[in-house]
Copies of this chain bind each other. A is one copy, B any other.
Amino acid sequence: MAFKITKKDKDYSRWYTDVIAAAQLADYSPVKGCMVIRPNGYALWESIQEILDRMFKETGHENAYFPLFIPESFLKKEAEHVEGFAPECAVVTHGGGKKLEEPLVVRPTSETIIWAMFKKWIMSYRDLPVLINQWCNVVRWEMRTRLFLRTSEFLWQEGHTAHATREECQEETLRMLNVYKKFVEEYMAIPVIAGTKTEKEKFAGAETTYTIETMMQDKRALQAGTSHNLGQNFAKAFDVTFQDKDGERNYVWATSWGVSTRLIGALIMAHGDDKGIVIPPKLAPTQLVIIPIFTQKKELDMSVSIYEELKEKAKNLFTLKFDDRPEYSPGWKYHEWEQKGIPLRMEIGPRDVAKKQVILVRRDTGEKISCPIIDMIDTIQKILGDIQESLFKKAENFREKNSFRSDSYDELKKIISHEGGFVHAHWCGSAECEDKVQEDTKATIRCIPLESNKEEGSCIICKNKSDKRVIFSKAY
């Protein structure tokens, strides 16, 4: 585990893969485009799942499971949808030793198969709303793989809901966007900007796609989650109508929303440093690691008794590990746990114990804190809270420092190509201007922020009228 991590400033992309290797989060597999999520990485996904799943259930959703395979003809029922996804599909042509009559697509997303089932289940207004979520794997063929960020197969959750009215549908779309925002900000300690996607960037088959956009440490944007108002598109494609209270038949309104294992990539790139990943306490499977410093058994015994006391008192407050492996030195262990991103380390040495204290070391700042044994529980909880807060603030400050308002296209181009970051600029709404920026700078419109105020202005490219600023940035 004496893995050497490339410095962030030297090569951000190598730093990223090194951090993943050092913490044993994931590995390349012999299957092209597919990754292996190793136990340390999967434990992060389990934390994410546990918290989000609770939030989904609190907002009335239930989990279900739909088939991995989708008949090709289903995908074709929604015109935009097939156009968007067909080029990325993996196709099963043989099963049980025989060629299939109709090829099956491995789900790239499940709207079509789910709406085929909704047709069976939804008859009347009494059957609505349907609020379903699915945790599963999906496949979208990729040639250029990047662990967690871009792989042919990835894990995600996809929510799919059906509603009686346009209003309810829109409410649900925004409710789930806010669940994502709350989760990413409060648990992952990453600030987000919520907004809508442009026509060009929206989900294939949606009326409107809402997104939460984050800034990584290399100043690129990363889309952390999306929530789609699908209007009646899928209901029409699959002929799903319901009888309303007045006996009339209407098409059903739909939403879908998802986040994926990509969030783990966001976590690494939002908080990691030259020592490796830094896990926010609220997401850390283990929050505190205790490392005894000892040469004699008597000294180890003292640490054990402190650990035992702590373990008992820490129940339901925080999670901890005791690392008494005799074959490694304390220094070696510090290094290893830093690479694994554990938020807080406790060192227990004989001299500290004599002073009735222990040493606590913060992963995020490296700060060392002497802590009287009698105050351990309170102090640890307080520090964990501080770390959570300060990771968020640091990321927020970083984003603010690297966000610019610009009204000059030359300046925008210069910022994108030199400094990097988010440029808030006026845009007329045309696909031509959007494309031009991308051609000139590789930046795209990340979103039209929900919270930005109306402001009279002119498009930074064509100078036509615009009433709102949008965010331009290079992105993952």
B residues in contact with A43, CB < 8 Å:
62-63
Q: Is the CB of A36 within 8 A of B137?
A: no
- Smallest CB gap from A97: residue in B: B87
**How far, in angstroms, from A87 to B90 measured CA to CA in the complex?**
21
Cβ contact of A68, chosen from B70, B71, B153, cutoff 8 A: B153
* B residues in contact with A93, CB < 8 Å: 91-94
A143 interface residue, CB < 8 Å from B? Answer: yes
Cβ < 8 Å to B, chain A residues 139-155: 139, 141-143, 152-153, 155
Across the interface, A36 reaches (CB within 8 A) one of B29, B35, B117, namely B117
Q: Are A96 and B65 in contact (CB under 8 A)?
A: no
| A132 contacts partner chain B, Cβ-Cβ < 8 Å | yes
Q: Is A37 an interface residue (CB 8 A)?
A: yes
Contact digits for A65-96, partner B, Cβ 8 Å, 1 yes 0 no = 11111110010000000000011111111111
Name which residue of chain B comes closest to A88, CB basis: B96
Interface mask (A250-294 → B, CB under 8 Å = 1, otherwise 0): 000000000000000000000000000000000000000000000
What residue in chain B is nearest A138 (Cβ atoms)? B68
A39 within 8 A of B: yes
Q: A31-B71, A71-B31 are in contact. Are A64 and B92 (CB under 8 A)?
A: no
Contact partners of A153 in chain B: CB under 8 A: 67-69
With contacts A92-B106, A117-B29 taken as known, whether A67 is within 8 angstroms of B35 at the C-beta atoms is: yes
B132 with A39: CB separation less than 8 A: yes
In the complex, whether A409 has a CB less than 8 A from a CB of chain B is: no
Asked if B36 contacts A64 (CB within 8 A), the reply is yes
| CA of A357 to CA of B100, assembled, Å | 62
- Could you say which residues of chain B place their CB within 8 Å of the CB of A70? 31
Q: Would you give the shortest CB distance from A115 to chain B, in whole angstroms?
A: 11
- Distance in Å: Cβ of A53 to nearest Cβ of chain B: 9
Q: Which residues of B contact A86 (CB under 8 A)?
A: 97
CB-based nearest B residue for A65? B37
Question: Roughly how many angstroms separate A245 CA and B98 CA in the complex, as a whole number?
Answer: 50
Q: Does A326 contact B (CB under 8 A)?
A: no
Asked if A247 CB lies within 8 Å of chain B CBs, one says: no
Asked whether A116 is an interface residue with its Cβ less than 8 Å from the other chain, the reply is: yes
Name the residue of chain B whose CB is nearest to the CB of A38: B64
Asked whether A27 lies within 8 Å of B117 as measured between CB atoms, the reply is yes
A104 interfacial contact with B, CB 8 Å: yes
A91-B92, A93-B93, A132-B39 given as contacts; is B34 within 8 A of A69 (CB)?
yes
Partner of A30, one of B42, B116, B152, B155: B116
A136 contacts partner chain B, Cβ-Cβ < 8 Å: yes
Check A297 for interface membership: any CB of B closer than 8 A: no
Interface flags, A91-115, vs B, CB<8A=1, else 0 = 1111111000001101000000100
B95 touches A31 (CB 8 A): no
Establish whether residues B141 and A95, one from each chain, have CB atoms under 8 Å apart when the complex forms. yes
Given A90-B94, A94-B90, A94-B91 in contact, is the A66-B117 Cβ separation under 8 Å? no
**A155 and chain B: residue at smallest CB distance:** B65
Contacts of A386 in B (CB 8 A): none
8 A Cβ contacts from A1-58 to B: 27, 29-31, 33-39, 42-43, 45-46
Given A36-B117, A38-B64, 16 new contacts (CB under 8 A): A29-B66, A29-B117, A30-B71, A30-B113, A31-B67, A31-B113, A36-B64, A39-B63, A43-B62, A67-B153, A86-B97, A89-B96, A92-B93, A95-B152, A96-B141, A96-B143
Can you list 17 residue pairs at the A/B interface with Cβ under 8 Å?
A29-B67, A29-B113, A30-B113, A31-B67, A31-B69, A31-B113, A36-B67, A39-B63, A42-B63, A65-B155, A68-B106, A69-B90, A89-B95, A90-B95, A91-B92, A91-B94, A96-B143
Chain A residues proximal to chain B, CB less than 8 Å: 27, 29-31, 33-39, 42-43, 45-46, 62-71, 74, 86-97, 103-104, 106, 113, 116-117, 120-121, 132, 136-137, 139, 141-143, 152-153, 155
